Amino acid sequence: MRRSLVSCILFGYLVGAGAAEPVPSAPEQDLGGQDSVMVRGRAAVRDLTESVARHVDRWFGDKPFEPGGKVSGSIGLKFLAQQHESPEMNLRFRARLDLPNVKEQTYLFFGQENEQELITDQPDAFTRRELLLPEDRKADLTGFAGLGYALRDMIDFRAGVRGGFKPYAQARYKKNWLVSERNGVEFRETLFWKPDDGFGATTVFNVSHAFSPSVALRWQSAGTISKETDGMAWASSLGVFKSYGVDRLASLEAVVSGATAASDDIGEYGVRAIWQQPIYREWTILEVSVGHFWPQGEAKAVRGQNWALGVGVDIRF
């Protein structure tokens, strides 16, 4: 799911889930009754993930898993209906394992994501999932796993494999500045590598202004350069975000994207509105998004237009 909320309004920062890490969530007791299936299903996924973490951790030493060991992750299911396209439903899964027998800043990760967005470290706001664009489950989505090392909360190194044991690597630098009481800036630079495309880079720059403790204006932008892009593939959005409490958020954004060396610099523009809230306990989050977009047609002078609806549920564990 694309956002954590309160810090976005108070400090001008949005914490994503896409390229961002899963939000930890404490285990919860089964209270019985009608909700037991949901609770037990979530607990089973968490227990399975933790058993993997304990097993791998024993490869590196004899320290007990508690208190230093930790697992966190999420399962996301999203339904997309786009005008002129067949409806589709996709599943995302991601997990992070902090292991006490591995060096303190080192962690393991695995899951399933859009392969290109995973490698280029695209910000959540500009993924196909959040732009309400269709994905081919066989061609676009892939399983992945790897090892990460975090240095001083600003530098992150990752090396892993995705579908077919194809390797990739990333080096990411991120920095947030609270410019004033109401204004914040976020910068992120990711260098990435994969054998068939060589090196590339993704730059993310976001600026936020809080009008009040619950309302913020945010400008988000990202650009990616690699052998597969037409010059620099870029995207930008400007929107207003309104918080209604923890994990409850409404937003309205104008979005535009394109490529600098394409036949038309602007490939698509549009507007999207999103509502997000918990629907079951604090760890099951619903997101409903509606968008109207004007993509570039085959003829340069002609633009199409279409509506899109997305309904997603994210279960954190």
pLDDT per residue as tens digits for the range 101-113: 887 788 999 999 9
Let me know: does 116 contact 140? Beta carbons within 8 Å: yes
Q: What value does the mean pLDDT take over residues 175-198?
A: 94
Global pTM value: 0.83
Q: List CB contacts of 98: < 8 A, sequence separation 6 or more.
A: 53, 68, 69, 70, 71, 107
Q: Which pLDDT does position 222 carry in this prediction? A: 98
> Given this model, what pLDDT does residue 12 score?
41
R_g of the chain computed on alpha carbons: 20
Mean pLDDT of the chain: 86
- 3-class state of residue 214 by DSSP: coil
Q: Is the pLDDT of residue 93 over 80?
A: yes
Q: What pLDDT score does 64 carry?
A: 87
* DSSP designation for 229: S
| pLDDT attached to residue 274 | 97
**281 in the Ramachandran plot: left (φ > 0), alpha (ψ -120 to 50) or beta?**
left
Strand ranges, E, within 55-180 = 70-82, 88-98, 106-114, 141-151, 155-162, 166-178
Highest mean pLDDT: which of 138-142, 172-176, 193-197, 293-297?
A: 172-176
Q: How much is the average pLDDT of 258-264?
A: 82
| pLDDT score at 243 | 96
Mean pLDDT value of segment 46-70: 87
Asked if residue 2 has pLDDT above 60, the reply is: no
**Domain regions of the chain by residue span:** 6-316
- Which pLDDT does position 35 carry in this prediction? 60
CA distance 136 to 127: 14
- Of 299 and 84, the structure prediction assigns the larger pLDDT to 84
Q: What is the structure's pLDDT at 229?
A: 87
190/11: higher pLDDT: 190
Write out the CATH class of domain 6-316.
Answer: mainly beta
Of the listed ranges 101-105, 202-206, 252-256, the least confidently predicted one is 101-105
- Is pLDDT above 70 for 9? no
Q: Is the pLDDT of residue 34 over 70?
A: no
E-assigned strands of 121-165? 141-151, 155-162
Quick: pLDDT tens for 115-138.
Answer: 999 999 999 999 999 999 888 777
Q: What is the pLDDT of residue 25?
A: 52
